[in-house]
Amino acid sequence: MIQTVIISGGTSGIGLAAAEILAGEGIRPILLGRNEERGKAAQDKVPGSLYIPCDVTKKEDCERAVKAASSIGNIKGLVLSAGIYTEGLLENTTDEEIQKLFETNVFGAMKLTREAIPFLRSAKGSIVAVASDAAMRGNVQCSLYGATKGALTSFIRSLALEMAVDGIRANVVSPGDIDTPLLDRQLKEYGGNKEEMREWYPLDRIGKAAEVGEVIAFLLSEKASFITGAIVPVDGGLTDW
């Protein structure tokens, strides 16, 4: 039977890197994303993958994506990698910005997970959410973003207890700065550069998407069969300063 893993935000960055690694292990990645052009390019890049247009903030999109994935094979895993980033002082933040960030980073993860649980239960599957170092410590001008990633982390840790009776594991990876298109957009909009970022890290560099992808693949696998409710930093020592 074909084993599938659903990856929200699977068309770029960490999600796409995880998909490539999983495909190499014989898993069929189901790539979810809003941008169809980017989705088709990702599908062409990852052997055996399938792109499904999906906006995780919409219940009907989540239902359709999970149903399509289940028609292909057993849903063995769910990777929650869809997310948006913003910086700014809270006093300058609008209600619309607050709603938008929580809709994607938190509520979207909850909606997609809710739809996938019945299928994960039958396969005794695994969930991995992509949070951030901002969920583990305070970051300047990131109170809103950090709040969403903190909420995501708390959600997954509680879900791990809730789903343990069904044999479903749920864990969090918490990356630092990773060389992805999202980081490129962040630097373009808010300033700074990768060389400057490098100096913040004990390992003297920022991370690669594949380095996070490898940890995601491990947590999804049977090699991590006794790990649930964990937060795994993939941050080059950043939060250990």
Cα 235 to Cα 15, 66, 98, 147, 157, distances in angstroms: 16, 31, 26, 19, 20
Which two tokens mark 230? 């964990």
Which residues have CB under 8 Å from 48's CB, separation 6+? 23, 28, 29
Half-sphere exposure of 97 (CA within 13 A, CB side): 15
* 105 DSSP 8-state letter: I
Half-sphere exposure of 56 (CA within 13 A, CB side): 32
Which residues have CB under 8 Å from 102's CB, separation 6+? 148, 151
Determine the Cα–Cα distance for residues 122 and 167; give it in Å rounded to an integer: 9
Determine the Cα–Cα distance for residues 146 and 150; give it in Å rounded to an integer: 6
The residues that are catalytic are 145
How many residues does the structure list for the chain? Answer: 241
Which residues have CB under 8 Å from 90's CB, separation 6+? 143, 144
Q: What are phi and psi of 234, to 5 degrees?
A: -125, 75
